[in-house]
Amino acid sequence: MELRVTLLLLLCCTGLQAETPEAEMSQQEGSTFSIQCPYTTQPENEQLKAWCRMRNERCQLEVLTLDSVQYRYSDRAMQGHITIKDYNRTVSITMSDLQAEDSGIYSCVYSSNYVPLKTISLNVYKELHKLELDSLSVQCPYGALGYSWGRKAWCRQGQAQCSLVVSTVYPSTWGSNGARNKSSSIQDDTRTRTVTITMDKLQVQDSGVYWCALYNPNQRPAFIRIMEVRLSVDKIPAATTLSVTTSSSQKNSSGNSTQPRNTITISVVLCILLILAFTITTALCIRQRKKLKTGGNRQAEDIYDKPQSPAQLESTENMGRTTDDSRDLNYITLDFKPRLSSDEPLYCNVEPSQAPRKPEDENVEYAIITHKQLPKNDKG
C-alpha cells in the first residue's frame, strides 16, 4: 500500500501543471472553509483523491484519501486543520482556523488521469478595527508562497488597481530591506521571509483594503498579492478624546491599541472624584448650618445672662432681707412699679435649661418690702 501511494504521489506531483483557478474564495482569518469536488464523470471510484496547493507550478500535497484511508502531509493537515473525505462520488475538503498564510491556489485532483477536479484561489484576509491616532503593525509571511526575493510593497486597493503606498527600494536576497513614506513604513526580512508594515496616527480616511504584495513596476499587473488586510478606522468618541490624546505616544510605539481599557479606567476615576467632591461639599454645608445654629443659641444665652437693673437688684435685696426679720410683723408696705412695656427687655439669671424659649405676654410686678417695729402699747 505504501509503495503504491508513493508512486501515485510522484505521478501527481510531477505530472500536474498549474491550472487557472475557476473562482476566488475569500475567507476571514479564523473561519472555516469547505468545498465539494464531484467526480461523477470518472468511472474509477477507488482511485486516489487529493487536495494539493500549487507552488512553483507544481502540486504540493496537503492531504489525500485512498481506499477510505486518509493521509496527511502538510503541517496544517497534521494539526487537524485540513481534512478530506471521499463519499458518494464526491470529495469533500474542510480547512478550519484559517490563517493568512493559507492563501494560495488549491486543487482537488483525481490521480488516475492526473487532472484536477476543481481549482480555486483561496484568499484569507485579516480584518482590523482601529481608532483615530492608533498605530497599525502587520506582518506578512511569504515563505509558504514560494517567494524568496524581489521587491515588496504595501498598496491600497482601488476600483481598477492597487495604488502604491510604500515599497522596498531594491530586491533583497539576504538580510533586511526597508523604506518609509510619510506615516507608513515597510521592512522586508528575507531570513524569516516576513514583510512588516507599520502605519502611524491613523485617520478615518485610511480605511480600506490593502495588500502586502510582490512589486515589479515593469510588469502588468505590477502587484502580486501576498496577503490582504481590510482596515476600518473609526472616529474617537467624544468622551474618550482626553484618554486617546494622553496615550497616543505610547500607542505609536506598539502596534496594538489599548484605548478601550484606558477609557474605562479614566471614566471610573472621574466618577470616583465626582462622588468624593459631592460628599465633601455636603459635609461642609451640614457643618456650616450647625455652626450657625450654635451661634444663635449662645447669643440668646448672653441676653439672658446680662445683669439686672438697679431697681430690680434693690427689690431683690429688700426681699432677701425680709427673710431675717423677726417673728412679730406689724405691717408691710408694697411699692408697685409701673408696668414694663412689652418692647423693653427683661433680664434674669436662670440656668440654661430653665431659659424661656419665647417670652409670652407676662405681667412682672416688683415690690419693696420693709419692716418697721411698732411702739409697744402701755398696759394699764
Question: In which residue are the cell numbers 481598477 written?
Answer: 160
The topology (CATH level 3) of 132-234 is Immunoglobulin-like (2.60.40)
What is the chain's Cα-based Rg?
A: 51
pLDDT at 339: 58
pTM of this structure: 0.56
Per-residue pLDDT tens digits for 202-215: 999 999 999 999 99
pLDDT at 315: 44
Cell of 313: 437688684
| Domains 22-124 and 132-234 are alike in CATH topology | yes
Contacts of 114 (CB under 8 A, 6+ apart): 11, 12, 15, 16
The bridge status of strand 82-87 relative to strand 23-28 is unpaired
The CATH number of 22-124 is which of 3.40.50.300, 3.40.630.30, 1.20.1260.10, 2.60.40.10?
2.60.40.10
pLDDT at 326: 45
pLDDT at 172: 60
Residues in the chain, pLDDT under 50:
1-15, 43, 242, 244, 249, 251-257, 300, 303-327, 379-380
- Which string of b and e fits 81-109 if b means at least 16 CB within 10 Å? bbbbebeeeebbbebeebbbbbbbbbbbb
pLDDT at 264: 82
Q: Is 262 left (phi over 0), alpha (psi -120 to 50) or beta?
A: alpha
End-to-end alpha carbon distance in the chain: 174
Contact of 204 with 100, CB cutoff 8 Å: no
pLDDT at 181: 83
Domain-by-domain residue ranges, the chain? 22-124, 132-234
pLDDT at 253: 47
pLDDT at 298: 56
Contact of 34 with 93, CB cutoff 8 Å: yes
pLDDT at 191: 86
Contact of 98 with 127, CB cutoff 8 Å: no
pLDDT at 142: 87
